[in-house]
Structure formats: C-alpha cells, structure tokens
Amino acid sequence: MKIPLKINGVTKTLEAGPGEILLDVLRREGYKGAKFGCGQGFCGACTVLLDGEPVNACLLLAGLVEDREITTIEGVGAVDRLHPIQEAFLDAGAVQCGYCTPGFILATKALLGKTPEPAEGEIKGALDGNYCRCTGYVKIVDAVKLAAKRMGGARLGRRLEGAR
Amino acid sequence: MQGKISKIHYPRNTRELLALLGKGRGRVAPVGGGVSFSFSVPPKVSELASMRALGLDGITLDRKGLHLGALVTIAGLASSPRAARFMGGLLAGAAARVAATTNRNLITVGGNAVRLFIWSDLPVVYCAADARFMVRGAKGARRLAAEQFYKTQPLTWLRCSEFIEEITIPAPGPRAGAAYEKFCETENTFALVSAAACVTLDRAGKCASARLALGGLRLLPRMSEKAAETLRGESPSPARLRDAAAAAVGEAKAVRDIRVTADYKRELATVVARRALEKAFAAAGAQRSGESHA
Amino acid sequence: MSEKRKFNEVNQARRRVDGIGLVTGRALYTDDYDVPGMLSAKVLRSPHPHARVKSIDASKARALPGVKAVLTWRDVPRVIVTEAGQGYPEPSPYDKFILDNKVRFVGDEVAVVAAETAEIAEEALGLIAVEYEPLTPIFDPRESMRNGAPVIHDEPEWLIPIPVEMDPKKNLCGRADVTIGDMAKGFAEADLVFEHEYENQYAQHVANEPHTTISYLDPDNRLVIISSTQVPFHVRRIVARALAIPVKRIRVIKPRIGGGFGSKQDIVTEPLSAALALATGRPVRLQLTREEVFVSSRTRHHCVTTLKTGIKRDGTLTAIEMTALQNAGPYGTHGLTVLTNTGSKILPLFHCPNVRFNAWSVYTNLSQGGAYRGYGGTQSGLAVNIQMDEMARAIGMDLPDLYRKLHIRQGEGSPVFAALGEGAEGHAMTINSCGLADCIDIVLRESGWAKKRGKAGTGCVRRGLGMAIMMQGSSIPKIDMASCSIKMNEDGSFNLLCGATDIGTGSDTVMAKIAAEVLGVKTSDIIVYSSDTDLTPFDVGAYASSTTYLSGMAAKRCAEKVAAQLLAVAAEMIEEAAEGIRLEGGKAVGKKGEVTLARVGTRSLYEKDQHQIAAFASAFSDQSPPPFAAHVAEVEVDTETGRVRVVRYVTATDCGVAINPVLAEGQVEGALLNGISYALSERYIYNEKGRLLNPSFGTYGVYFTRDLPEIRTFLVPTYEPTGPFGAKSIAEVNINGPLPAISNAIFDAVGIRLRKSPYTPETVFNALKSS
C-alpha cells in the first residue's frame, strides 16, 4: 500500500505492506538512526517524533501514520551544523555507545519545544521511555539542562536583538 | 511485521466505520493508536479500520463530568488542563503513570480500555470513579458502567460491529476526594498492584460513600463492596481505613505473578489500598474544610 | 599527583572523536549495513534444559519457498571450541560445538535457518521436526558435584587447553585453592570469628544493541564478518577453528557497537552467521531478539560465597577464608577466570597475613555465565564488604575506620597478587598509586556520614547509610597485548590504527588524546580507525579494563616513535639538533626557529628524502595496577511494602590521571547505576523446568530515568607511573559497590542483614516480618 506522509519536513509516499511496522519501513528507506533495541516498545532505541511527540516506531503500524509528520534523527541538525541539543549531548558527555542517543535527542527536542526550562523531574519524566545502560543517565540529564540553557540564551539573544 | 493484516481502511466518519465493521463480521477491527495490533492480532481479524478521522480526540468537561474521546492519547489525557482540574487530577495523574512517554503518545484511551492487562492503570480508576462507557454499534449506542464493562474481558463480549466512542467520568458530589496508588518494583516494569479510591464525606465528616477498586490481583479490576460497607457512615480513622483495605483484599486470591508470591501481593494490595483511601479521604477532608471556611 | 604536569590534550575536556556520527544518527552499527542480497537467519532453540537430540528432520523447512539453508549438528564441522573471547590458549574449557546433538539449557541452539526474509526463517523453524530424549537436569550448583549427578558434558572431545584442574565427569569446570600463611593459626589468634554465606543472582548486561552479525563472502571468496563484538581478533581465531577454515580467509570488521559490558566478549552470533554464509554463498544477517539476548547470550555468574573472617578487637584481621561455589551454567565460558578474580579482585585490598581462597566452578543446566563488568569482583565485593560492616559493628568501630585501618596503600604489595591470577598463579605487584584514603574521606564528607549514619528515624519509611570499598585491575598482566600504528599525513594530521575496540566506551578518543599529547597536536588532528582484522594491528579487545592502560600505552609508544621520526625531519629543516625541539601547537619548535607539522609532513612525502613517517608499537605489561573506589549509599526503606529506594549515592574513584574526565565520570555512573538496579531489582526468574520466565524489559528490572537517584561522582587524581600519562582503568570497578553498600544501608535503616541479592521489595518485606 502507499502511505502519504511527511518525513523530516519532506512530503513522501512510503510503499509498505499493511502489516509492516514503521521502524522496519523507515530503516528500509534509509532512516537508520532509528534503531532496533527490543521490538516491544520498552527501550526507545527506535524513537521518532510523530507530529512532534516521541513514540516507539516499533509499536506503530506504518499504515496508521498516513498524512502525519515523522521526524527522525536525520531531520535534526546536520553534520556540519549540529543542533544545540546535539552539541550539548557531546559537551556534557551524554554519549557513550550512541545506540540510544538518537532517541534521547528526539525526546529532548520534543520536551524543550514545549518546556524550554524544564525542572529535573520534568526531564526525567520526558525521557522515561528511553533506555541507556552506558551512562547511568546522569550526563544525559546534564545535557538536557545544558541544551535548555544554551537555547534559552539564544532565544534571549534573539529577543534582545529584536528589541534593538 | 504483522503478516495477518492484509488491509487498512480509513473510514471518514462513524457511518462508514460502522458499515465496514458490519460487513467485516469480525474480520475488520476498529483501531486507534494500533499499538496492541503491532504485537498481537486477535484470531479472526485480518483488516483494520482506522478511527482517526472520526473526531473522537477531544476532552471536554461539563456539569455531567469529564468526557474522554476514544482517540485521546494517554499522553493527551495526562497533560490535559481540564483533566488536571477534574477530581484532583485523578485521571490525569493515573494516565501519567501508564507505561512511558513514548508509549503514552501512541496508546489511546479507547484501546487502553479494551485491551486489558493485569497491570492496566486506568481501568482500575474507571471502576472506582464509576465511569460510563459509550459503546457505539449499528443499532445505536449503549452506555455501560465501568463495573459492567469490566465484568469480563471486554474483547470477549464486545460485538465485532461495535467500538468505544467515549468514556465519561461523572462529576463527583460535594466533599469528594479521589486517589490512585500504584506499586512497581521499578518505574518501567509492570505494576504489581494498584488501587483507586473515590470517596465522599457527609457534612459531619463521616464517610458518605466509598468506592475502592484494586488492580493487579487478577486481570479484571476488583471492586470492593466490603470496603464500602466498612466505611459507610463511619469516621475515616486510620484503624477504619486499615480495616477497609483489609476487607477489600479479604479472601481475594491473587493470580500467579512470576515475580512475587500471591501472599506478598495480597499484603502489598492491602497497603496500597489503604494509602489510596488515606489520600482520597484527605482530599475530601480538605474540600470539606474549604466548604466550612466558605 | 606524584608527577605534576600540565597536559594539553590529556585530562582536558574534549568532545569524543566519533561524536558527530553518533549524535546525528549516521554512525553505522552492524544492523545498519546494507549488503545486497542479504538473507535473514533465525535459530531454533531447545525447549529442554538437558536432552539428547534423537533425530532432526529439516526436510519440510528446507522445502519452504524462500529458505536457502537449514543447518543442524550434522551440517557443521564437528570441532570442539570455547566461545569465550579470551587470549589463546583460552583458560575456558572447549566444551561447545556450534551445533550439537545434545542440548544443555532451555534456549540452547539446535538448528539455524537462513531465508529470504525473517518471517520465512521464523516459519521454517516451526517446520523442523526434532525428537528429544530428555535427560535429568541440574538447576542447583550445590547438586552438580554430588555423586551420581547427571553429567552435562559427556562428549569425548571435551578439552581444556591449559594445565588446570577440571573434570567434566564431575561437572567441574574451574577450581582454585590457594592458601597464604597459616589459617589455623590465624583463626586461633582472632578475638572474633565471623562466618556467613552470601549469594548473588544471575543478571544480564542488557546492552541496548542486541547481538548482531552480518557475514558474507567477498569477491576473493574470503569470509567477511561484520559483528557487534568486543573481541574482533578472537572472533577471527575462534570462527576459523569452529568452521575449520584458515584464519587468513577471515576478515572481522568491528563497526559501531551499541554497548557490551562483557556480553559481547563471547562468540555468540558469529559462527552460525558465518556457517550460513558459507553454506549459501549469500550474505547472512543474524540478530538476536531481545528475548534471545536474555535467554541465550551471556549472564553474570551466580555464585554462593562463604566467607569466614577472624578479627581482633582493634580491627586487625587475622585470617580470611573465602569459599566460592560458582554456577557456570551449561558451558564454561569465563567460569574459571571469573572464579579466580572473585578472589583476586578483593582479597589484596585488605591487610591480612593468612588468606585462603578455595573455589569451584560447576556446570548446571541454567543460563550461560560469561564476562560481565566486575568479573568476579562483584560477587566477592558483596561478601567481603557486608562482612566488614558486620565486624565493624561487632567490635564497635565505625566502618570507614576499619577500612582505613585495613586497606592496601601505595608502596605495598599483597601476597595474593602472586598467588592468584587469571585461572592460574598471578604476578607479584607493588601498588604504585593509591588514592583510596582520599576516596574514603570524600565520600564520607559528601554523604554526611557522620551526621546521618545510624539515624534511621521513626515512621514507616526509614533511612540508612551504607558503605563499601573496592578495587579492580588494569589489563591482564603478561597475557594481554595491545598494538597501534600511526602514520603522518602532509597536512600534519595522523592516522591512528588500533585493535583497541571502542564499544561505546570512548576508547577511540582516549587513543587520539594520548597520541595528540605526544605529538603536540589537537585531538582532532588524530584520525582513529579501530578494529578491523585486515587493517589494524592486533589487540585482545575491549575487556579486563585494559584499553586505556594497555592500548593507551601502545598509542603513547607509537606516537613517541613517530615523534622521533618527524623531529629528525624538523631538525634538518630548522637546522638544529632534534633533542632541543619540542612538539607543541601543531609545530616543531626549536631554539632557532619553528616549522609546522604540515611542512614536515609535506617535506617527508614530497620534497626531500621522501619517506612515510610511520610506526608500530605494542604494549604488554607485567602489572595490572588497580583503580580504587569508595561508595556511600543512602537509602529509604518503606517498612510496609519492603521497597528500598536509593535516594543519594556518592562515589569517589582513583583511576590515576583521567584521560578524558567527563567520559571517565560516565564510566563511573554507568557502572554504578547498573550496580544499583542489580542490587534492587534485576534478576532471572526460572520455572521448575529451567525456563527463564522474565526475558523482557517489562519484568526484568533495569533502571530508566525515573528510577535515577541523586548521584555524585568524584575523581581522585593520582599518577600511575606505569600507565600512559599516569592513567589506570575505570570501566569496571564501580559496579562492585552497590550490592554491599546498599545491603549495609538497609541494615543501618531497619536492622536486617541481607546477604543474598537482589533486595527486592518482597525479600525485604519478608526479612522485616521475620526479624
């Protein structure tokens, strides 16, 4: 079947079987930043944003996302111009093996989009669907705080710029 | 890959959905987020009908209570300002404890109500809060109380031509309080037990009504008439609440859980039920003192 | 720090060299490789814990359209191997055929299918008819050596390639018995003697990436294996043996790895994937499901440890006798070495003249043990640190004071180092760096120990503080070898090729920083390529906390050789003696002048006396300097439910000079949280037929963000003179603390002594009820 949707801002038509899982379809289409970790919706390695909210691509039938907007890690930042969240993850030491990193970055993006200055509890709550064995999460929470601070600073800068 | 699914339909309205379900005779299943279908498809089902175009994704609050469209996501319920205002945030709070963010953004209220697991959160709350389920079928809608809805597993009695349209949680009377308590070994493992309590006080501060539902002992939420009896007309003293919780768990057998013994589950359920009652009565008491100050 | 030195790259905050690919999702893990025409493989696994395969009929499966190969034990070489990814000759028994006519646990491999799609392969599994003859299983290691116990390994090919005591007829796959001093005298001198049994549970590493291997034949008919492994060179050697093909025919490529923690130190998915590629001539991908990772990969060894200690009233130890019975599971991968490390990773930590370590590793029909971060130190850390708390309380001493009195110090050795090594005798060693005293001071101060210890409070939630100290090693002395090559480019950058296997630890970055420090360039001027058996020099791989210490030493030596070569060119250019020229800021700076490394590189490749500036270097050590750590856990115990929550956890670690402080802290925190959830919730639950019932995130019990307590991490700088720029290891040591520290904290809170992990709500509830 043909599934019209938007991926990373680009309108596309995915070809997929009616019983196919979105994660498999995305990976086949080259969006390999979404990883297989458990296939049961627990670990969040397959996280993508569905209309801006983090979801498990392994729990989604591709046929049910028609006309919706998917954001994968490939749609965040660029190799030569990282997103501030990506910069913060590197600077805070939040990346070890990196397998969970796309999921955490996408979940962070959704969080900071709604809550620019999250409290620690809000950070832990928003990232609760993403598993990491390497870091013990400490540096990941640090990274989210750092990203929030930098993005807040940038916003403030733009506002001051506008006021002048 | 769910090889069994051969087709997905996109009905534009209720009439089209009902027609598909009717024609399907059990072959076509109505689907919201579709999460459960990604890992298990019921025996007869080979086609899905997406309910997304039906406009059932609203949360409204009126004098009758809080109305949840079947397509509201659990995350949507958890973050809804209306749900936060209603019954001290009972529904929103319980929704926030369903699985994890990445799941809550997908799972819908309707799907969550129908696909029952022993660790399910909201069904326990629906029972305690005496929620009403609007089930739409070819011959119109029927309204079912939560206790009826969960008398047996919904999937065993729901007709293949029916779907959940809306769940309404009735507005509580004056001096009401509610609470949901859940016990997990870790935050992301399935709950061992849970309890929801909805209580009201009379003007004198005695218990006017108490509804207590337990989760985790068996697949279906367990409503306790005995707890209600123990509390009705009595002051909610610590000893009384302890008695009520013990009465609720009573002789109930816990089904086998690979992680703990049935005896421990019962002990745990007693503690969790008592804590839910304590919080519910505390909230009701705060309302009452607010009333007397006013 | 004994050598105070200002570093330019080492010990400075730098982004990891592989970071951009990781944060943009472009880094390629095994499963991300598209190989045209790839088949999917699935494994048929045993439903029986112990059985003989009477017959297998795969004809229906082979006939299923889309199936390209079905392999059973009849279709693979009958060569006995060990799947332990250790140096050769391995200290693990050769007790495994990649497919066998006997199965030894529920989940053991029976047959493997390659098909056009995963769904077809899965369907084919159901068409393989297997007739089993069930045999009596063993589920309790205490039963394994009883007379008349079933023999799990009766294959005549069984062998152990090194001279150690093992006996498959008695289910014995590891043995150690070492005595130092006079035990009878030691116990006679004691004022008090303590003896208790301690027991830790099975657990899984739960790396986020499941084991995955892609195998294919290249145009020259060589076998290429892309795999999620910690040990590419061992994979090459063991697969060659298992498939009876020459080593030179195999190339193993390590792409990005999604975490290992020891689980990928074994040869798990490689042989079957490779056998299918050879059988079909097609590329084959074999990826374990999450359930298979739990059931059929590797676990932490379950171990029953009896500890008997004699102590004087002033805290002097007179004798320690540790008796360990380790459950190796169905195959003896790492059994012996985890066993000896159970003694060697903690007994040297304490001054004691009389020490005995007496231990057995035995086969059972439960899950297969393997390497797991901590590697025995976790098992014994539990017993020793809990007994220290018991003894300190009995003699009326504050636990940290007892630790301070007893712990090893810089300049001291321990007879245990020489007596007990990796499956055999060890090597004498003197501690050249030890910051443990500072570690203890820091965790006491930062946890508020003096104020909070012994103040449980009243009410239904009680608080308590517990402590533990620990050590590990840095590489396996006189066994591990690491090597590295560096060549210079014309722009003053360098390619560093190493066998060191970055599995997410940041070792590529460590190697780059060390080389950059020597060569006076930026870390980003070093281009690292690691672990490809065709291209990079040998390294044993990512295990035994060896990479920073040993591979880092290889990088340093190699960079020094390269520096000497480029200084010779620079000397000609500046026209002064090489001895006076320094390398800094990407330049060679002499007294008469300076020249950029780009100029040096360009000259050496294009202009004068053209030659490639390049070198190889190896590192090998007779030392394994321990990192040290101290922990304090603060817990809350809900006395009504038995639930224990860690509210705050403070650690201080001496890892020498931290090459990359933020990543070193990350190693501490990752190990720590793994240890905390291991102490409180992670466990394997079996039914009475030996089947694992909770192979899922929903019931197993790893921690997610909402479980995260407040964690405070301190690095205590020391300088390890034998390490590269003063560095020691850090990866493993901190996983050994939470089991005892949390148990000790629970005692402080509610007065119950838990000697068997995990401390689940039900365990604590029952202990409270019976206390």
CB C721 within 8 A of CB C2: yes
Sheet-wide strand order for C302-311: C172-180, C355-363, C317-329, C302-311, C192-200
Radius of gyration of chain A (CA): 16
- pLDDT tens, position by position, C232-287: 999 999 999 999 999 999 999 999 999 999 999 999 999 999 999 999 999 999 99
Q: What CA dihedral angle connects C630, C636, C638 and C644, to 10 degrees?
A: -30
Alpha-carbon distance of C321 to C190, in angstroms, equals 13
Instruction: Determine the residue among B4, B38, B41, B115 to mutate to test chain A binding: the one whose Cβ has the most chain A Cβ atoms within 10 Å.
Output: B38
- How big is the CA angle at B196 (ends B191 and B198), to the nearest 5 degrees? 170
B294 pLDDT band, cuts 50/70/90, is: low
CB C721 within 8 A of CB C654: no
Contact list, B187 vs chain C (CB under 8 Å): 704, 706-707
CB C121 within 8 A of CB C41: yes
Q: Determine the pLDDT at residue A159.
A: 83
Return the number of other C-beta atoms located less than 10 Å from residue C134's C-beta: 13
Strand partners of residue C527: C495
Contact between chains at B259 and C699 (C-beta distance less than 8 A): yes
Q: Where in C153-211 does DSSP place strands (E)?
A: 172-180, 192-200
Q: How far apart are the first and last CA of chain B?
A: 60
Coil, strand, or helix at residue A60?
coil
Alpha-carbon distance of C410 to C319, in angstroms, equals 22
Alpha-carbon distance of C42 to C117, in angstroms, equals 10
- How big is the CA angle at C279 (ends C274 and C280), to the nearest 5 degrees? 100
C-contacting chains (≥3 CB pairs under 8 Å)? A, B
Q: Is C740 exposed, middle or buried (0-12, 13-18, 19+ CB in 10 A)?
A: buried
Coil, strand, or helix at residue C592?
coil
Q: Determine the pLDDT at residue C6.
A: 86
CA distance to partner chain A, nearest, from residue C6 (Å): 22
Size of interface B-C (CB pairs under 8 A): 62
Q: Determine the pLDDT at residue C4.
A: 57
Look at the pTM and tell me if it is higher than 0.80: yes
Q: Residue B128: which residues within 8 A CB-CB, separation 6 or more?
A: B178, B180, B196, B197, B198, B211, B212, B213, B223
Q: Residue C653: which residues within 8 A CB-CB, separation 6 or more?
A: C439, C627, C628, C629, C664, C668, C713, C714, C715, C716, C730, C733, C734
> Which of A24-28's residues contact partners 24+ apart within 8 Å by CB, and which partners?
A24/A62, A24/B1, A25/A62, A26/A57, A26/A70, A26/A72
Structure-token pair, residue C652: 């201080």
Contact between chains at B264 and C693 (C-beta distance less than 8 A): no
Contact between chains at C666 and A134 (C-beta distance less than 8 A): yes
Q: Determine the pLDDT at residue C5.
A: 73
- C674 to chain B, any CB pair closer than 8 A? The answer is no
Alpha-carbon distance of C514 to C486, in angstroms, equals 12
Q: For residue A92, what is the DSSP state?
A: T
Q: Determine the pLDDT at residue B253.
A: 86
- pLDDT tens, position by position, B247-264: 999 878 899 999 999 999
In chain C, the residue whose alpha carbon lies closest to the alpha carbon of A99 is: C258
Instruction: Determine the residue among A59, A104, A115, A133 to mutate to test chain B binding: the one whose Cβ has the most chain B Cβ atoms within 10 Å.
Output: A59
Structure-token pair, residue C266: 């074994």
Contact between chains at B4 and A19 (C-beta distance less than 8 A): yes
- Distance of CA C363 to CAs B90, C177, C685, C726, Å? 52, 18, 19, 41
CA distance to partner chain B, nearest, from residue C676 (Å): 12
Coil, strand, or helix at residue C151?
coil
Size of interface A-B (CB pairs under 8 A): 91
Contact list, A20 vs chain B (CB under 8 Å): 1-2
Q: Tell me what the pLDDT averaged over chain B comes to.
A: 96
Backbone angles phi, psi at A52, to 5 degrees: 90, -5
Alpha-carbon distance of C503 to C208, in angstroms, equals 12
pLDDT (mean) for B209-233 = 96
- The DSSP line for A5-22 is EEETTEEEEEE--TT-BH
Instruction: Work out the widest C-alpha separation in chain C, in whole angstroms.
Output: 85
Contact list, C696 vs chain B (CB under 8 Å): none
Amino acid at C421: G
Task: Select from C249, C255, C251 the least CA-distant residue to C230.
Answer: C255
Residue B27 clears pLDDT 50, i.e. is over it: yes
Instruction: Determine the residue among B2, B35, B104, B188 to mutate to test chain C binding: the one whose Cβ has the most chain C Cβ atoms within 10 Å.
Output: B188
CB C628 within 8 A of CB C654: yes
Residue B283 clears pLDDT 60, i.e. is over it: yes
The secondary structure of chain C in percent helix, strand, coil, rounded to multiples of 5, reads 30, 25, 40
- pLDDT tens, position by position, B9-19: 999 999 999 99
- How big is the CA angle at C256 (ends C96 and C81), to the nearest 5 degrees? 10
Q: Determine the pLDDT at residue A158.
A: 84
Q: Determine the pLDDT at residue A73.
A: 98
Task: Select from A40, A32, A45, A35 the least CA-distant residue to A131.
Answer: A45
- Distance of CA C526 to CAs B196, C508, C534, Å? 60, 10, 21
Alpha-carbon distance of C720 to C7, in angstroms, equals 15
Q: For residue C157, what is the DSSP state?
A: T
Task: Select from C443, C372, C421, C341 the least CA-distant residue to C650.
Answer: C443
CB B246 within 8 A of CB B168: no
CA distance to partner chain B, nearest, from residue C126 (Å): 16
In chain B, the residue whose alpha carbon lies closest to the alpha carbon of A46 is: B102
Alpha-carbon distance of C748 to C594, in angstroms, equals 64
Contact between chains at B188 and C704 (C-beta distance less than 8 A): yes
Q: Is C685 exposed, middle or buried (0-12, 13-18, 19+ CB in 10 A)?
A: middle
- pLDDT tens, position by position, B40-51: 999 999 999 999
Alpha-carbon distance of C197 to C86, in angstroms, equals 31
Alpha-carbon distance of B217 to C235, in angstroms, equals 48
Contact list, B100 vs chain A (CB under 8 Å): 42, 44, 128-129
Alpha-carbon distance of C226 to C532, in angstroms, equals 9
B3 pLDDT band, cuts 50/70/90, is: confident
CA distance to partner chain B, nearest, from residue A160 (Å): 32
Q: Determine the pLDDT at residue A153.
A: 82
Structure-token pair, residue C402: 């007892």
Q: Residue C534: which residues within 8 A CB-CB, separation 6 or more?
A: C251
- pLDDT tens, position by position, C157-205: 999 999 999 999 999 999 999 999 999 999 999 999 999 999 999 999 9
Site of tokens 């969240």: A85
CB C653 within 8 A of CB C668: yes
Contact between chains at C765 and B267 (C-beta distance less than 8 A): yes
A-contacting chains (≥3 CB pairs under 8 Å)? B, C
Ranges of chain C with pLDDT below 70: 1-4
- The DSSP line for B59-123 is EEEETTEEEEETT-BHHHHHT-HHHHHGGGGHHHHHHHTSS-HHHHTT-BHHHHHHS--TT-SHH
pLDDT (mean) for A136-160 = 93
CA distance to partner chain B, nearest, from residue C441 (Å): 32
